[in-house]
Amino acid sequence: MNPHLWTISEYQQHLAKRDISAEEAVRDTLARIRQFDPALHAYIHVSETAVEEARQIDERLAQGLPVGPLAGVPVAVKDLIDTEDMPTTYGGLHFAGRRPSRTATAVARLRAAGAIVIGKTNLHEYAYGTTNENPHYGRARNPWNRAKIPGGSSGGSGVAIAAGLAMAALGTDTGGSVRIPAALCGHVGLKPTYGLVSKAGVFPLADSLDHVGPMARSVLDAALLLSVLAGPDPRDPTTVRIPPRAYHQVQPKARARVGVPKSFFFDKCHAGVAQTVQAALRTLQEHGFDLVEVDLPNAHQVPEMQNAIISSEALDVHEALLKAHPEQYGEDVRKRLESGYEIRGHQVVTATRFRRQFATEMQQVFAQVDVIATPATPITATDVGQQKAHIRAQEVLVRAHLTRYTNPWNLTGLPAITLPCGLAPDGLPVGLQLVGPRFGEMKLLAVALAAESALPWNPVAPDYR
């Protein structure tokens, strides 16, 4: 029995047949955390009550009482998300040891569905970075190669899934922070449409760009988690009241029109990544996908516009702490926050105007195609501590470049999912990103499910199987 290799669906089947108990699955996960996490730094805090919670699930099953759709599933939660029964540090020293007075809505909904929060995962300090090199709680390491970064800022959650230290995880995504770790660690990451999942109880980075999303071993697992997470919340005024959807009942849609951008999303892309994604697209075409070249002429302006918004909003969140205790920030995050002072009002106005225009342009694109396909990241996982990379003899900054293909969809709020599509020549995972229309999660998941079946993959890194 290897529950660390199972999807949620597979685990549910074994649990229903009593092949395994929830307590056994939780104990196995905790044992793996003790064995592997000292070298990986996926977790900041591990639950002290998970075993007892699992026993309660087993007792309900033994008595024939109903249990939720995530009964006994060990789930990791990014430590940016409040849990009143565990410390929530936000990855920073200012909040070390803090216990919130109330649990975040997203975590409460997972627990109501029977999930067991196995622990709180490491992140780039205050979610303001893409490498997960946290100076306070350890540099998270990629299970595919521990000399490499896992991506960020939800890197600990990505590591936990790829090393079999959790069956699923919860992350946040402001410029790609769910999808980047999923791509670099080789599993599924879903950023829902802005407003579909509550952010109540989540420490903000940039509120108008922040999303909460599931990270999982399969598209179907991500869909199941979304079914539990989605829905309006009076605690979060940005949530949208739309009819509930049973995302986990999604069926694969192979006969889909897939838009492939002819510029920007393959510009400044490492040759190994581009080749792997293009090979995956050819495979999808062989399986019935209709590839359509699309033009996104203003995509090249996104990095500048996104930076104006995230820099100003992040400074707004942190300015008081930055003035009172600047020494408690890591150097890279402190400098990024201070750069917010350089953003002028007219830049934010211009970025906001561009945001509306770009969103309108995307509506026109989705009148032609079902989804858009791009690489998830322009590069594979870089070395821990590496600040620069070279792409076709051009030097790029790793932290900024990792968000190049993901942040357009935070700016527009459109749903996007990353799934593994193969290995680059360096032996590291490459992610394929699929983007859907606003609140088009069911269509997006249907296409992703078909793509996943055409691109088989083991989401647990070889050394941890």
Catalytic residues: 78, 153, 177
List the Cα angle 242/247/405 in 5-degree steps. 90
CA 75 to each of CA 111, 228, 375: distance values in angstroms, whole numbers, following the listed order:
10, 13, 27
Unique residue bearing structure tokens 């003899």:
393
**DSSP codes, 406-451:** TTHHHHH---EEEEEEEE-TTS-EEEEEEE--TT-HHHHHHHHHHH
Alpha carbons 343 and 368: distance in angstroms, whole number: 36
Q: 326: which DSSP letter?
A: G
Q: Are 153 and 128 in contact (CB under 8 A)?
A: yes
Q: 142: which DSSP letter?
A: B
Alpha carbons 444 and 93: distance in angstroms, whole number: 39
The alpha-carbon radius of gyration of the chain (Å, integer) is 20
Quote the tokens at residue 88: 């929530």
Alpha carbons 367 and 127: distance in angstroms, whole number: 34
Q: Are 261 and 295 in contact (CB under 8 A)?
A: yes
- The count of residues in the chain is 465
State the maximum Cα–Cα separation within the chain, in Å, rounded to a whole number.
65
**Which amino acid is it at 312?**
S
Q: Are 431 and 183 in contact (CB under 8 A)?
A: yes
Quote the tokens at residue 201: 């109880």
**DSSP codes, 85-133:** TS---TTSSTTTT---SS--HHHHHHHHTT-EEEEEE--SGGG--SS-E
Alpha carbons 11 and 371: distance in angstroms, whole number: 30
Helix (H, G, I), strand (E, B) or coil at 78: strand
Alpha carbons 111 and 425: distance in angstroms, whole number: 41
CA-nearest of 186, 227, 217 to 441 is 227
Q: What pairing do the DSSP bridges indicate for beta strands 168-173 and 211-216?
A: antiparallel
